[in-house]
Amino acid sequence: MKKTKFIFVTGGVLSSLGKGLAAASIGALLKARGLNVSIQKLDPYLNLDPGTMSPFQHGEVFVTDDGAETDLDLGHYERYLGVPMSRKNTYTAGRIYSIVLNKERQGKYLGGTVQVIPHVTDEVKAAIKSATTPEMDVLLVEIGGTVGDIESQPFLEAIRQLKNDLGKSRCLYIHLTLVPYLKTSGEPKSKPTQHSVKELRSLGIQPDIIMCRSEQALSPELKRKIALFCDVSENAVFSAVDVGNIYEVPLEYHREGIDNKVARLLRLKGEPDIAPWVRLNERLGNPKQEVTIGLVGKYVALGESYKSLHEALTHGGLDNQARVTIRHVNAEDLKPRNLEKHLGGLDGILVPGGFGDRGVEGMILAARYAREKRRPFFGICLGMQCQVIEFARHVAGLPEATSEEFNPKAKDKVIYLMTDWYDHRAERHEKRTAQSDLGGTMRLGSYPCRLAPSSLAFKAYKEPEINERHRHRFEFNNDYLDLMEKSGLKFGGLSPDHTLVEMLELPTKEHPWYLGCQFHPEFKSTPMKPHPLFRDFIKAALAGRPSPTAKN
Ligand code: GLN
């Protein structure tokens, strides 16, 4: 059994500095040394998980195989490490407090006064340890928020204590800060970093490494100044400069020597093999073709809302040596009279997942447009449900077809809540989490799907059975299966017991590439292993273009 080492990543000055990407990139570089690495996120907010948070506020909700609804940083971890995360890789302060409060109700504290220290901090430490395995060499722990937030304090106190519990040689503290460049004085400023480290040290944590996000590389003098004020050696202050694409970050860190410093401080063995990252960046930087995909959704105002989707489209482009330009189309803007204007120039159209009826009629219009104009179309979760509704209304002769989500009293609920399945799901969720809450009503996590041999789906995956991640309440209503099939819709993927429609498509003689899936394939795409559905969607979009270089 290995003694796992821990790297704690904290952030200062402001949020959104890219701590998740920093942790993922360091993790990738350590993995490149042949080490067994994982990453955990500790989020200071009081929600039990981000499942109930609006994508407008918090960005995408990422879903793991075991059905945890998590922060989007877990998506970065999976994409950079190529290993699946689980609910042990993510804890919020809310979840920690709820564990403590449940224990209190069960009398587990034997009448003692329950306090932040030691009860909450003990639970944080247990959560951190729960994410390790006997084979794990390194666990990176990213603390969400910034040093100085009231909510972060129990987490910071817990990671401070761990150094004493585990020994100095097993813990490393990295602090990520911002060095802003002031145009008026024409120089980069180190004061916010000094203050942030001062705050961290007042909590008893002395950083071993300081990483400074900045527009330009820090000068040796500036590094010296920061080192002096923050009590670290000069060679432990690094620039983390802004780069063109996020997959360049590991290479940039390697050039700076960050991974070597980490390895030396933690006495980690091995030489990194960064060749795969170099090759990836070469391919990203030298596309042979361009393709424009329209993303017709309702959360288009915030780019972070469709993070995994953006990445999966980029990965799909990689496999086709193509640069993918994503054009966001607000579904609410689409009207029958302006479809050509909004969708006309697109090589492919994607309707992503979503909740509620806002923008749905626009998404249905987009599905119809793509079907009739034979434009490559990819419907994901809500997107697939829109394909079903559209096909039912305009091909299968059910003009009132809709989803139970939008109108529970509708005559033809082609998408509906499957009650027995729903109960089974809630039960399964309760078993998993010992609580019944809002999240319990969704089909969450990985489920198997069997593919029809001569389908587009099978052609992409080249496997008879696949596993993909779900996050939805509503399902295809099997009462309409025969009618839809007779009308020409093909069901390319079903649950192994044939009770759930997981994938649909149009025959290739009708349409070049028209596919929908009830699951979220974007969560499983990585740059090193692009997802087959995104690869084929981009391929179809490229094939539909008049000539490889004609458009921009
Ligand atoms: N709102 C739909 C449902 O709950 C689709 C969910 C989604 O797209 N993730 O079934």
Determine the Cα–Cα distance for residues 357 and 243; give it in Å rounded to an integer.
38
Q: Is residue 223 part of a domain?
A: yes
Whether 520 is catalytic is yes
Determine the Cα–Cα distance for residues 345 and 324; give it in Å rounded to an integer.
14
Q: How many CB atoms lie within 10 A of CB 468?
A: 23
What's the CATH code of the domain at 273?
Answer: 3.40.50.300
Residues 539, 497 within the same domain: yes
Q: Measure Cα distances from 113 to 101, 105, 429 in Å.
A: 12, 12, 32
pLDDT at 242: 85
- CB distance 422 to ligand 1 below 6 Å: no
The pair of structure tokens assigned to 463 is: 């496997």
- Of 127, 166, 175, give the one whose Cα is nearest residue 5: 166
Which of the listed residues 355, 386, 406 should we mutate to test ligand 1's pocket, taking the one with most ligand atoms within 8 A of CB?
A: 355
Residues 352, 216 within the same domain: no
Per residue, the 3-state secondary structure of 457-480, as one string, reads HHHHHCCCEEEEEEEECCEECHHH
Q: Is residue 25 part of a domain?
A: yes
Residues 300, 334 within the same domain: yes
Expressed in angstroms and rounded, the spacing between residue 306 Cα and the centre of ligand 1 is 14
Give the closest residue (by CA) to ligand 1 atom 8.
Answer: 353
Q: What is the mean pLDDT of the chain?
A: 92
Expressed in angstroms and rounded, the spacing between residue 73 Cα and the centre of ligand 1 is 21
Q: Which of 49-63, 107-121, 310-324, 418-432 shows the lowest mean pLDDT across its residues? A: 418-432
Active-site residue, from 142, 157, 252, 522: 522
Determine the Cα–Cα distance for residues 444 and 432; give it in Å rounded to an integer.
11
Residues 224, 167 within the same domain: yes
What's the CATH code of the domain at 302?
Answer: 3.40.50.880
Considering 249, 279, 309, which residue would you say is the last residue of a domain?
Answer: 279
| pLDDT value at 462 more than 70 | yes
| pLDDT value at 257 more than 60 | yes
The strand pair at 377-380 and 402-403 is best described as unpaired
Q: Is residue 164 part of a domain?
A: yes
Helices (H) and strands (E) in the chain, counts: 19, 23
Question: Which atom of ligand 1 sits closest to the CA of residue 470?
Answer: 9
pLDDT at 427: 52
Q: Which residues does 115 contact at the CB level (< 8 Å), separation at least 6? A: none
- CB distance 428 to ligand 1 below 6 Å: no
Q: Is residue 101 part of a domain?
A: no
Determine the Cα–Cα distance for residues 107 and 111; give it in Å rounded to an integer.
7
Q: What are phi and psi of 169, to 5 degrees?
A: -70, -10
Q: Is residue 337 part of a domain?
A: yes
Give the closest residue (by CA) to ligand 1 atom 7.
Answer: 353
Expressed in angstroms and rounded, the spacing between residue 121 Cα and the centre of ligand 1 is 36
- CB distance 416 to ligand 1 below 6 Å: no
Q: What is the pTM of this model?
A: 0.92
Residues 298, 330 within the same domain: yes
Active-site residue, from 310, 472, 520, 531: 520
Q: How many CB atoms lie within 10 A of CB 254?
A: 20
Q: Which of 189-193, 295-299, 407-411, 439-443 shows the lowest mean pLDDT across its residues? A: 439-443
Determine the Cα–Cα distance for residues 26 and 32; give it in Å rounded to an integer.
10
Residues 247, 325 within the same domain: no
Give the mean model confidence (pLDDT) for residues 101-120.
94
| pLDDT value at 434 more than 50 | no
Q: Is residue 480 part of a domain?
A: yes
Give the closest residue (by CA) to ligand 1 atom 3.
Answer: 472
- CB distance 382 to ligand 1 below 6 Å: yes
| pLDDT value at 431 more than 70 | no
Considering 228, 246, 279, which residue would you say is the last residue of a domain?
Answer: 279
Residues 118, 178 within the same domain: yes
The pair of structure tokens assigned to 73 is: 């940083």
- CB distance 179 to ligand 1 below 6 Å: no
Give the mean model confidence (pLDDT) for residues 389-398.
98
Residues 195, 305 within the same domain: no
| pLDDT value at 426 more than 70 | no
pLDDT at 303: 67
Residues 133, 188 within the same domain: yes
- CB distance 354 to ligand 1 below 6 Å: yes
Residues 160, 29 within the same domain: yes
Give the mean model confidence (pLDDT) for residues 79-101.
96
Where do we find the tokens 């951190």?
128
pLDDT at 424: 53
Q: What is the pLDDT of residues 207-250, one digit of tens each?
A: 999 999 998 899 999 999 999 999 999 999 999 998 889 999 99
- CB distance 69 to ligand 1 below 6 Å: no
Expressed in angstroms and rounded, the spacing between residue 84 Cα and the centre of ligand 1 is 23
Q: What is the pLDDT of residues 165-181, one digit of tens each?
A: 999 999 999 999 999 98
- 300: confidence class by pLDDT, cuts 50, 70, 90: low
Q: What is the pLDDT of residues 126-152, one digit of tens each?
A: 999 999 999 999 999 999 999 988 989
| pLDDT value at 432 more than 60 | no
- CB distance 109 to ligand 1 below 6 Å: no
- CB distance 306 to ligand 1 below 6 Å: no
- CB distance 490 to ligand 1 below 6 Å: no
Residue 117 DSSP one-character state: I
Total domains present in the chain: 2
- 423: confidence class by pLDDT, cuts 50, 70, 90: low
- Tell me the residue ranges of DSSP E strands in 16-118: 37-43, 62-63, 69-70, 90-92
Expressed in angstroms and rounded, the spacing between residue 356 Cα and the centre of ligand 1 is 8
| pLDDT value at 430 more than 60 | no
Considering 247, 279, 311, which residue would you say is the last residue of a domain?
Answer: 279
Residues 160, 213 within the same domain: yes
For residues 383 and 516, the answer to whether their CB atoms sit within 8 Å is yes
pLDDT at 185: 82
Give the closest residue (by CA) to ligand 1 atom 6.
Answer: 472
Determine the Cα–Cα distance for residues 201 and 103; give it in Å rounded to an integer.
32
The domain in which residue 319 lies consists of: 287-417+475-543
Question: Which atom of ligand 1 sits closest to the CA of residue 471?
Answer: 9
Determine the Cα–Cα distance for residues 201 and 194; give it in Å rounded to an integer.
10
Residues 274, 316 within the same domain: no
Give the mean model confidence (pLDDT) for residues 276-280.
97
Query: With the C-alpha atoms ordered 509, 514, 516, 521, is the resulting torsion angle positive or negative?
Result: positive
pLDDT at 65: 96
Q: Is residue 88 part of a domain?
A: no
Distance from the Cα of residue 170 to its chain's centroid: 29
Expressed in angstroms and rounded, the spacing between residue 385 Cα and the centre of ligand 1 is 8
Active-site residue, from 381, 386, 449, 517: 381
pLDDT at 429: 46
Give the residue, 272 or 13, on which the prediction is more confident: 272
The pair of structure tokens assigned to 398 is: 């059910």
Q: Is residue 211 part of a domain?
A: yes
Whether 234 is catalytic is no
Expressed in angstroms and rounded, the spacing between residue 358 Cα and the centre of ligand 1 is 12
- CB distance 475 to ligand 1 below 6 Å: no
- 551: confidence class by pLDDT, cuts 50, 70, 90: very low
